[in-house]
Amino acid sequence: MVFEILTRDPGSEARRGRLVTAHGTIETPVFMPVGTQGTVKSLTPDELEALGVEMILGNTYHLHMRPGVERIARLGGLHAFMHWPRSILTDSGGFQVFSLARINKVEEEGVVFQSHLDGSRHLLSPETAVQIQMQLGSDIAMVFDECNSYPVSYAYASESMQRTVRWAERSKTAHNLPEQAQFGIIQGSIFLDLRKSCLGQLEAIDFDGYALGSLSVGESKEEMLAVLETMTPLMPASRPRYLMGVGTPEDLVEGVRLGVDMFDCVMPTRNARNGMLFTSWGNIQIKNSCYADDNGPIETGCACYTCQRFSRAYLRHLFIARELLAYRLNTLHNLHYYLTLMATMRQAIEEHRFETWRKAFYAERASGSGAL
């Protein structure tokens, strides 16, 4: 993996970069659609490429539970299995173990848990998480970490953070796939001294990139921004900075302002399946009756396939009727919106006018023209 900073915005911490893996070039700051189980729900790989997606996220926990990493490895690795020619980042499964599975016990060795599918018992350790990701053959692998819920006590957050550091050391030792980059994950909840301590210890281990985990898990926006404003400038400037699982369009804008390079979130795809569509001036709930006779597109001027061909009235009909096409068309639009937002920010950074663009972004959101 090669990462370089091409330019910085003079009025903020925003930075324009380029990340190169064995499977292609990623222009940063970048948004990665979530393909948890080897698919971005409702879309084909060709459609993702046509949208301009350069990297997607896959998940160790889900792929390990089904269909099984050994099967994927026998079939040529995750890229070949899902017929995706571009880059893949895999999460270690830590978040899913703590949020989805029924946990039996957190111990130094790892986490013993019951599968959410059939109740079978498993141990996920730093070594097994790394081994699974190497077998999957992703371009970027995350270390196994302990995710904190919110709220959490200072004492437990401290204990958990130190365990995450020890697990990171073991993850680094177990990793021996040179073409696969490995990122460390900074933990410590909303406690800034713990976050700083975690970062310092992870830097001593030396990873190819660094991520902020356990944010947007219930804390206020103010608390999340306080962590970002403190930690992002401290993260190594020469390595990619990744904000995990975040978030709204406003979250992306603020993350870029503070120097974040990489984002992922289920929001554009999950919200599409729930009938929420993103526009430059706000969000549309397509099921609302006001769209029943609306012959206009989701957003005038949007170049996505959905807006170029279909009306709000038709999209509402599909959604109310629970037609599968509704989920596909809504997802195409929402991902186009997110990817266009990132491309617009990259251009603003290149032209050294990010702060001017950011003010215009919020002014348009505040206008709320047509958002229902």
Residues annotated catalytic, as ranges: 91, 264
By CB neighbour count within 10 A (0-12 exposed, 13-18 middle, 19+ buried), where does 146 fall?
buried
Residue 337: half-sphere exposure toward Cβ, Cα within 13 Å: 29
In angstroms, rounded to a whole number, what is the distance separating the alpha carbons of residues 355 and 132? 42
Query: Among positive and negative, which fits the CA dihedral 189, 194, 199, 205?
Result: negative
**Token representation of residue 259:** 């120097």
CA nearest neighbour of 27 among 224, 261, 247, 211:
261
Identity of the residue numbered 29:
P
| Separation between Cα atoms, residue 223 and residue 63, nearest integer Å | 33
Quick check: bond before 45 cis, omega within 30?
Answer: no
Bridge partners (DSSP) of residue 185 are: 211
Could you give the 3-state DSSP secondary structure of residue 214?
coil
Contact at 8 Å (CB) between 267 and 248?
yes
The C-alpha angle with vertex 302 and arms to 299 and 304, in degrees rounded to 5, equals 115
From the number of C-beta atoms within 10 Å of its C-beta (0-12, 13-18, 19+), residue 7 rates as: middle
Distances (CA, A) of 93 to 119, 267, 324, 361: 17, 19, 29, 35
As a whole number of angstroms, the distance between CA 185 and CA 199 comes to 8
Contact 56, 33 (CB under 8 A): yes
d(CA 270, CA 327): 9
